[in-house]
Amino acid sequence: MSLPPNPRAKASGAVSDGLRRGRVAGFLMGRGSLSTPGSNLARLPIALDPRGLSIIEGIRAACAFGTVILLHEFVAWPPLLIMALAANLTCFADIGGPMRSRLMVLAVFSVLGSLIWSLFGLLQPHGPAVVVPFATLVIFCCSYARVWGVQEQTAGNVLVLVLAFALDRPLTGGEAVIAGAMVLAGGLWATVLALALWRLNPYRPTQRAVAEVWRRLALLSGDLEDLAASDEAGAAGFDDHARAHRRGVREAIELARGLIVDLARSRERVSDRTAQALIRLESAEQIFAALIALSDRIEADRNPNRQVRTRRLLRRLRPLLLVVARAIRDDTVLDLPRIERSIARAGRGFASDPALKSLAERILDRVRIGAKLSTPEGYRPGGTLLGSASLPLRQRLLGPLKANFTLASPNLRHAIRASTVTAPVLGLTLLWPGPFTHWLTITVVLTMQPFYAATWQRALERIGGTVLGGLFGALLASLATTTLALAALIFPLSIIGFAARQVSYAFFIACLTPIVVLLVEVMEPGHASWEVAGMRALFTLLGGLIAVASSLLLWPVWEPDQVRLELRKAVKAHADFARTVLSNRAEAERSGAAEAAARASGLALNTLEAALSRALQQPRAGRHPQVETAMVADATLRRIGARLSALRHAAEPKPSKEPTGDVGHEAEACRAWTLWITATLAGLAEDAGALPVHPDLPRAEFLVRLVTQVELLAETLRPQRSRAEAAPAEAVPETARR
């Protein structure tokens, strides 16, 4: 769209087109600073996170099934090996979280696992014609369980493993009863060990999540200081910073909020510790909003003196944020007088800059709140019941099932794809049975994800981890000369493997594969360790290729179309954000509407960038026009959001006091430009009709940058529109006027 009379608009088409080509080329080539690695959306998110290492979880998982294996060495009753395997699988299904939800998921998993093992052990002799239809139905249900959440998704995936193991050998009636009882006993033993005998601190995951928010804020402030210190930091540098750090902080905030809500609901009240976590999270989110506003000031105003003061604030802020993050993570007590001195020192030197002083005070006040909660005298709020916040069980179960039961849902399409692809694979393993063929079925199910990019990433991680782990496991098995030595090796390997399950999926698989090799040596003696490792690598490679191919060929979610939908949602969220901030700022802040709108816009951008990342990893999708347009629009929306955050924390604009100024005329101009901004964003979100023309009034100084970014967004999304198609200025939607 070409926007009418505007002194900057004459050359805006060529400039914005060149800017778009330059930014897209930079994004696709992964341009960005070393401090913002997450800015490259085309890169697969395969990385190690040492902070996720949990030795305690590894020891507990090793005890859950390792003790049963050692018992088998002395008792020599084969069904004990089924119990050990069931305990192992239950540890896989347990991903942590509130005690009540974990108990429900693990109990249901144990019961269903027992029934599946018994039923399919009895059906196995009847061949593929009988087994495959029932197995396909079970796989569909297990795959569709992801609509309830991550815990249920994990349990559903592991139930498919139970199904694959159950089809290894036929069972008689009596054997089916014993096998089912052993599966139930193994699951309940692991559950009791996890939730009763060896309970972990229920607040620990929440503490870590909130601490991670504060740590990411420290990283954001450090990178922002580097941008403020750089004379060469241009638009690309600020775009990379926003995409990497703001996305990471928003994801961490939402993860922590979900854990806090789940914890509160599981206990039906807000305990003191839960309330403290919520206050710390709210303080961190307010710091986040203020830092976004500060980044807008840094980019807009390159005044050397102001930049020096800004860098000094950020340099002193970063260690404060890190100190609070460590105190939250380790649950330690802070030296409040020392923290107060550091806060006071960070707040000095802003007397000549009221706007920067206001932002600094807002940030440092929230740091003070976070620090005070880590002292013995910290705020200890009382608990309140949350009965009204919890949905009825029937609604929690049926609501997600109904909402996702449409072919537009990636979850339903994934369940159909998984069951359709796994059915013939399962039939082949039944026609040509072998001791290792179940690994093919397991790999296909666990590798396949709702989106192609996630499937491709999972295939790479699983194949690479399996090959490395198989070589290491075969070497260990060749050194162990007795069954007891093999069983003893399982303990340290289990500790390492389960401790690393949150570090990296590839690393977890690399640690898990040696355990599998040793378990086969114990449960299926007579196979060479190198044969076991080679067969596992072969079936994993084949299963990964099948999963990747099926994601491309069967009901794929083409990401350019998904990007277009998410872009419209992001533009609409920013239109609501602009309307909230520009209409009645003071009331919006008091009611919390501004905070809610800021959060919604941030979440919408995160969702858009997730779709962009998946699109860039699909074949030939990176050069799709919709993807290229969305890349530029995403950066522009980040700037619009930053400017709106800056306006949230700015002083109320005052009419000009110049002798030639007309106060009433300036107020009218502000209203007109505000309506134009909100109406233009709403029109871009609806993608229908022409956009409003510029008001024939001077621009208010505090709206100039915002108007410029909205113009660029309109040029990006509507480049084909001509001035003749533009609607008259009066055609502002009534919703925008309200």
What is the secondary structure of 317-364 as a DSSP string? HHHHHHHHHHHHHHT----HHHHHHHHHHHT-S-TT-HHHHHHHHHHH
**Do residue 360 and residue 229 come from a single domain?**
yes
3-state SS class at 525:
coil
User: 269 φ, ψ to 5°?
Assistant: -160, 160
Query: Rounded distance, CA 97 to CA 507, Å?
Result: 22
Report the candidate in 64, 421, 553, 26 with the shortest Cα–Cα distance to residue 238. 26
Token pair listed for 624: 């799709």
Share of the chain above pLDDT 90, in %: 17
Query: In this predicted model, which residue has the larger pLDDT, 662 or 231?
Result: 231
DSSP state of 194: I
Mean pLDDT value across residues 661-684? 77
Q: Give the whole-angstrom CA distance, residue 544 versus residue 537.
A: 10
Closest-CA residue to 554 (of 431, 423, 701, 658): 423
Of the CA atoms within 13 Å of residue 480, those in its CB half-sphere come to 24
Domain boundary among 200, 229, 261: 200
Residues 137, 255: one domain?
no
Using DSSP's 3-state secondary structure scheme, residue 385 falls into strand
Task: Please check the confidence at residue 524 and state whether its pLDDT lies above 50.
Answer: yes
Q: Is 269 helix (H, G, I), strand (E, B) or coil?
A: strand
How far, rounded to the nearest angstrom, does the alpha carbon of residue 299 sit from its chain's CA centroid?
Answer: 28
Considering the domain architecture, whether residues 571 and 601 belong to the same structural domain is answered as yes
Distances in whole angstroms, Cα of residue 314 to Cα of each of 15, 228, 350, 627 = 33, 9, 13, 35
Residue 619: which pLDDT band, with cuts at 50, 70 and 90?
low
Q: Return the structure tokens found at 22.
A: 């330059």
Indicate if 630 and 663 belong to the same structural domain: yes
Average pLDDT over residues 638-654: 77
Buried b / exposed e over 709-729, threshold 16 CB at 10 Å, is: bbbbbbbbbbeebeeeebeeb
DSSP-assigned beta bridge partners for residue 385: 269
Asked whether 464 and 506 are in contact (CB, 8 A), the reply is yes
Tokens 């998921």 belong to which residue?
A: 105
- State the pLDDT at residue 12: 34
Where do we find the tokens 């100190």? 323
Q: Which of 45-49, 84-88, 654-658 has the lowest mean pLDDT?
A: 654-658
Q: Which of 21-35, 301-315, 471-485 has the highest mean pLDDT?
A: 301-315
pLDDT of residue 200: 60
Say yes or no to pLDDT of 110 above 90.
yes
Read off the pLDDT band of 583 (50, 70, 90): confident
- Domains in the chain, number: 3
pLDDT given at position 654: 46
Per the DSSP assignment, residues forming a β-bridge with 692 are 727
pLDDT reading at 31 higher than 80: no
Does position 20 have pLDDT exceeding 50, yes or no? no
3-state secondary structure of 477: helix
Neighbours of 513 (CB within 10 A): 28
DSSP 662-730: -HHHHHHHHHHHHHHHHHHHHHHHHT-SPPBPPPSSPPPGGGHHHHHHHHHHHHHH-TT--GGGPBPTT
- Confidence band, pLDDT 50/70/90 cuts, at residue 159: very high
Q: Would residue 532 count as lying in a domain?
A: no
Phi, psi values for residue 390, rounded to 5°: -90, 130
Under 8 Å CB-to-CB from 727, ≥6 apart: which residues? 689, 690, 691, 692, 693
What's the rounded mean pLDDT across residues 58-87? 85
In a domain, 370, yes or no: yes
Is the model's pLDDT at 552 over the cut of 50? yes
Amino acid letter, residue 71: L
Please indicate, yes or no, whether residues 281 and 169 belong to a single structural domain of this protein: no
Instruction: Read off the tokens for 656.
Output: 């000009």
Domain for residue 600, yes or no? yes
Q: What is the pTM of this model?
A: 0.72
Please say which residue of 200, 221, 254 terminates a domain. Answer: 200
Within a domain: residue 707? yes
Q: Which of 200, 226, 255 is the last residue of a domain?
A: 200
pLDDT value of residue 25: 34
Average pLDDT over every residue of 7-36: 34
Q: Which domain holds residue 342?
A: 204-383
pLDDT computed for residue 350 by the predictor:
80
For 91, the token pair is 């540890």
Which residues, in sequence order, are CB contacts of 338 under 8 Å at separation 6+?
Answer: none
pLDDT tier at 717, thresholds 50, 70, 90: confident
Cα–Cα separations (whole angstroms), residue 123 to 52, 163, 420, 445: 41, 11, 20, 21
Distances (CA, A) of 63 to 96, 99, 523, 723: 17, 20, 18, 73
**Alpha carbon distance 605, 618 (integer Å):** 20
The pLDDT value recorded for residue 43 is: 59
**What confidence tier does 732 reach under pLDDT thresholds 50, 70, 90?**
very low
If asked whether residues 240 and 196 sit together in one domain, one would say: no
Other CB atoms closer than 10 Å to residue 420's CB: what's the count?
Answer: 15
**Do residues 134 and 249 share a domain?**
no
**How far separated are the first and last CA of the chain, in Å rounded?**
26
Structural domain contains residue 149: yes
pLDDT at 343 over 70: yes
Task: Please tell me whether residues 25 and 106 are part of one structural domain.
Answer: no
Query: Same structural domain for residues 571 and 716?
Result: yes
pLDDT exceeds cutoff 60 at 291:
yes
In this structure, are 162 and 281 located in the same domain?
no
pLDDT class of 556 with cuts at 50, 70, 90: confident
Measure the CA–CA gap between 174 and 441, rounded to whole angstroms.
27
Q: DSSP 3-state assignment of 660?
A: coil
In a domain, 19, yes or no: yes
Chain length of the chain: 738
Query: How wide is the angle at C-alpha 141 spanned by C-alphas 138 and 143, nearest 5°?
Result: 105
Which of these, 26, 181, 203, lies nearest to 114 by C-alpha position? 181
- Between 660 and 538, the higher pLDDT residue: 538
Q: Could you tell me if 553 and 454 are in contact, meaning their C-beta atoms sit under 8 angstroms apart? A: no
DSSP labels, 62-110: HHHHHHHHHHHHHH--THHHHHHHHHHHHHHH-----HHHHHHHHHHHH
Is the pLDDT at 458 greater than 90, yes or no?
no
| pLDDT for res 377 | 57
Please provide the average confidence, as pLDDT, over all residues in the chain: 78
Q: How far is CA 166 from CA 6, 66, 114, in A?
A: 72, 21, 10
| Tokens read off for 458 | 């999972």
Instruction: For residues 187 and 209, state if they share a domain.
Output: no
Please state which of the ranges 86-100, 371-385, 473-487 shows the lowest mean pLDDT.
Answer: 371-385
Helix residue spans in 500-528 (DSSP H): 505-523
Among the listed ranges 317-331, 396-410, 719-733, which one has the minimum average pLDDT value? 719-733
Residue 534, domain member (yes or no) = no
| pLDDT at residue 513, rounded to an integer | 81
Q: How confident is the model at residue 527 (pLDDT cuts 50, 70, 90)?
A: low
In this predicted structure, what is the pLDDT of residue 111?
A: 96
Mean pLDDT confidence for 178-204? 83
pLDDT at residue 369 is higher than 70: yes
SS3 state at 504: coil
* pLDDT tens profile 119-128: 999 999 998 9
Give me the mean pLDDT over the 172-193 stretch: 93
Query: What is the rounded distance in angstroms from the CA atom of residue 736 to the CA atom of residue 196?
Result: 56
Report yes or no on 300 lying in a domain. yes
311-320, 494-503, 538-547: the lowest-pLDDT one = 494-503
Are 239 and 94 members of one domain?
Answer: no
Q: Per-residue confidence at 460, pLDDT binned at 50, 70, 90?
A: confident
SS (H, E, C) 204-251: HHHHHHHHHHHHHHHHHHHHHHHHHHCCCCCHHHHHHHHHHHHHHHHH
Q: Among 105-119, 379-393, 703-717, whose mean pLDDT is lowest?
A: 379-393
